[in-house]
């Protein structure tokens, strides 16, 4: 069970190690908060380096990596089915720990079983290669698991982002030690029960809850960790990358973003609706948030006015209410960040078209609510248009022509995502190709699939999630060269002429 408390008491979650819940070695715990009410909803074990060492040892003992791909596929497919059956419990936990509206969580989490089914299929079907080595030789290569993967996951999409790491890593035969965000650790722990019930051997999936300076640092620095997979902020990514580089182990990192939504004059209605979704889904707390709205000047005023009107109409409220369209921010700190940047935006000359304040009324007194905010006439070089806010704030900028749109879209240090809205197919493709981002949507935003590569350029990170490339990134390639010749070979016997040296 996840808790040793009597029925009706607040859930008390232990660490998940060796397919069982266990207290932290120190006995310490921390509280998990509901951002809609600021109330404590659970406690979780406060793990540290000693607990990480236990988890890594369990991962190293696990038989998972020695099981055939077909058996791994069977277990992951079963996990997909169990996860789907328990989806209501996961949705409720995600709403409670993140404040995301139930309408969002139902839609997002309903897709997570697809990752386990997709990567399970890859575990069964992925093939080695035979290479044209030449001469009387057979050269084939095959992929082997890396070993123990350390995953550091964030609070904004606790189950989905974790799943994007767990499904391919396990499919490839690796074992895992996960350090989830201390803000939203519940569903990563609940996933352990699903995987264990599906037949995942003990030690293959371990979760150490805690904080970055102790549990997170211990995962990154443990000598038996064979790969680090991080989703987080760019400053953290740089520090972790330096450690991975020193240890010469691979690292994947999905980091910050400042995505542009580029709306041309021939697609005003759909582009404005798309910008509204890109800006305010998840209360803007997503790395692919449409934080920069670039609009062709001839329709700029129309789009900004419509966006502001529609932003003011978004129903902010109780995330458990199906009618709510935007819930609170995840923490007091996150709301303070949004408020600080809106103040900076005003100082830099931005015009507040909508929002820019906390909502009034008793219903919002205890949670971390903030209104959807539209800042118009922002300069591209302004801090509010350059730095990641991670909140419900969008900056609007006009552009003159296609070349200017591309220039503005590329005028940030980030390169994770962007979207282009135009009915002119050739232009849409030209602009998409010219934007220096790892993901570009055309006439859409924030769409994802387990088969579709996901990851950014520049300050937005390293490597890819999803797809075959991701699966292969959790493996190491071994090349086997076989001499098929019946003739004996002795380099030091006789003349070297005619002998193959390499």
Active site residue 254: yes
Q: Are residues 220 and 273 in the same domain?
A: no
Q: Are residues 233 and 349 in the same domain?
A: no
Q: Are residues 200 and 220 in the same domain?
A: yes
**Cβ atoms of 252 and 172 closer than 8 Å:** no
> Using one digit for the tens of pLDDT, what is the confidence trace for 49-93?
999 999 999 999 999 999 999 999 999 999 999 999 999 999 999
**Cβ atoms of 178 and 77 closer than 8 Å:** no
Residue 306 burial (CB count, 10 A): 18
pLDDT confidence of residue 8 = 55
Q: What are phi and psi of 165, to 5 degrees?
A: -100, -45
How many structural domains are present in the chain? 2
Flag whether 87 is in a domain: yes
Average confidence (pLDDT) over 252-271: 97
Q: Domain range holding 332?
A: 259-442
Active site residue 302: no
Q: Are strands 39-45 and 29-34 parallel, antiparallel or unpaired?
A: antiparallel
**Catalytic residue from among 254, 296, 339, 388:** 254
Q: Are residues 322 and 423 in the same domain?
A: yes
Flag whether 488 is in a domain: no
Q: Are residues 147 and 52 in the same domain?
A: yes
The first and second tokens of residue 138, run together, are 């057979």
Q: Are strands 251-254 and 225-231 parallel, antiparallel or unpaired?
A: parallel
The CATH number of whichever domain residue 188 belongs to comes to 3.40.605.10
- Last residue in a domain, options 418, 442, 466: 442
Q: Is residue 7's pLDDT more than 90?
A: no
Q: Are residues 432 and 298 in the same domain?
A: yes
**Catalytic residue from among 179, 182, 258, 287:** 287
The CATH number of whichever domain residue 374 belongs to comes to 3.40.309.10
Q: Are residues 295 and 411 in the same domain?
A: yes
Flag whether 169 is in a domain: yes
**Cβ atoms of 212 and 135 closer than 8 Å:** no
Non-local CB neighbours of 326 within 8 Å, separated by 6+ positions: 101, 280, 283, 314, 315, 316, 372, 392
pLDDT confidence of residue 6 = 40
**Catalytic residue from among 165, 179, 227, 464:** 165
pLDDT confidence of residue 105 = 97
Beta strands per DSSP E along 232-274: 251-254, 259-263
Q: Is residue 227's pLDDT more than 50?
A: yes
Query: What is the C-alpha to C-alpha distance for residues 284 and 270, in angstroms, rounded to an integer?
Result: 19
Residue 106 burial (CB count, 10 A): 15
Q: Are residues 137 and 45 in the same domain?
A: yes
Flag whether 3 is in a domain: no
Q: Is residue 434's pLDDT more than 50?
A: yes
pTM of the model: 0.95
The first and second tokens of residue 419, run together, are 């979207």
**What are the helix (H) ranges across 46-112?**
49-61, 69-85, 87-98, 102-109
**Cβ atoms of 257 and 288 closer than 8 Å:** yes
Active site residue 165: yes
Q: Are residues 333 and 472 in the same domain?
A: no
**Cβ atoms of 71 and 54 closer than 8 Å:** no
Q: Are residues 167 and 51 in the same domain?
A: yes
The first and second tokens of residue 118, run together, are 């997709």
Residue whose token pair is 């309408």: 103
Q: Are residues 216 and 269 in the same domain?
A: no
Average confidence (pLDDT) over 176-196: 98
Q: Are residues 267 and 251 in the same domain?
A: no
Flag whether 485 is in a domain: no
**Catalytic residue from among 179, 339, 465, 470:** 465
Q: What are phi and psi of 483, to 5 degrees?
A: -85, 115
pLDDT confidence of residue 495 = 82
Flag whether 44 is in a domain: yes
Active site residue 465: yes
Flag whether 103 is in a domain: yes
What's the CA dihedral at 236, 241, 247, 249 to 10 degrees?
A: 120
Flag whether 248 is in a domain: yes
Q: Is residue 3's pLDDT more than 70?
A: no
């Amino acid at each position: 069970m996840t808790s040793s408390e009597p029925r009706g008491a607040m859930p008390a979650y232990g660490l998940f190690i060796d397919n069982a819940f266990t207290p932290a070695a120190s006995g310490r715990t921390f509280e998990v908060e509901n951002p809609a009410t600021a109330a404590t909803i659970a406690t979780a074990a406060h793990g540290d380096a000693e607990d990480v060492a236990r988890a890594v040892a369990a991962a190293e003992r696990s038989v998972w990596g020695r099981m055939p791909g077909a058996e791994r596929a069977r277990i992951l497919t079963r996990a997909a089915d169990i996860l789907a059956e328990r989806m209501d419990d996961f949705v409720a936990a995600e709403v409670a720990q993140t404040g995301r509206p139930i309408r969002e969580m139902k839609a997002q989490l309903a897709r997570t079983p697809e990752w386990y089914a997709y990567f399970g299929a890859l575990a069964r079907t992925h093939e080695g290669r035979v290479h044209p080595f030449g001469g009387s030789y057979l050269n084939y290569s095959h992929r082997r698991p890396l070993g123990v993967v350390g995953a550091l996951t964030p609070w904004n999409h606790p189950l989905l982002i974790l799943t994007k790491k767990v499904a391919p890593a396990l499919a490839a035969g690796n074992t895992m030690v996960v350090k989830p965000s201390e803000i939203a650790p519940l569903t990563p722990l609940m996933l352990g029960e699903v995987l264990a019930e599906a037949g995942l051997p003990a030690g293959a999936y371990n979760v150490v809850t805690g904080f970055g300076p102790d549990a997170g640092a211990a995962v990154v620095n443990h000598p038996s960790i064979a790969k680090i997979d991080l989703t987080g902020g760019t400053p953290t990514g740089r520090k972790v990358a330096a450690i991975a580089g020193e240890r010469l182990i691979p690292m994947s990192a999905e980091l910050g973003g400042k995505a542009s939504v580029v709306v041309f004059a021939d697609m005003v209605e759909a582009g404005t609706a798309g910008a509204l979704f890109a800006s305010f889904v998840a209360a803007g707390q997503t790395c692919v948030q449409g934080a920069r709205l670039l609009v062709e000047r001839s329709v700029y005023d129309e789009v900004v006015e419509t966006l502001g009107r529609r932003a003011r109409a978004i129903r902010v409220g109780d995330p458990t209410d199906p009618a709510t369209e935007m819930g609170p921010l995840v923490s007091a700190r996150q709301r303070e960040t949004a408020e600080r940047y809106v103040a900076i935006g005003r100082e830099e000359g931005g015009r507040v078209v909508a929002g820019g304040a906390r909502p009034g009324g008793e219903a919002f007194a205890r949670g971390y609510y903030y209104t959807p905010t539209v800042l118009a006439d922002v300069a591209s070089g302004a801090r509010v248009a350059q730095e990641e806010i991670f909140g419900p704030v969008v900056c609007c900028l006009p552009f003159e022509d296609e070349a200017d749109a591309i220039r503005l879209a590329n005028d940030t240090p980030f390169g994770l995502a962007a979207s282009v809205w135009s009915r002119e197919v050739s232009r849409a493709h030209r602009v998409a190709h010219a934007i220096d981002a790892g993901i570009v949507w055309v006439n859409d935003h924030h769409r994802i699939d387990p088969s579709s590569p996901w990851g950014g350029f520049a300050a937005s990170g390293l490597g890819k999630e999803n797809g075959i490339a991701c699966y292969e990134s959790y493996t190491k390639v071994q090349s086997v060269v076989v001499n098929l010749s019946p003739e004996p070979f002795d380099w030091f016997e006789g003349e070297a002429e005619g002998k193959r040296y390499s």
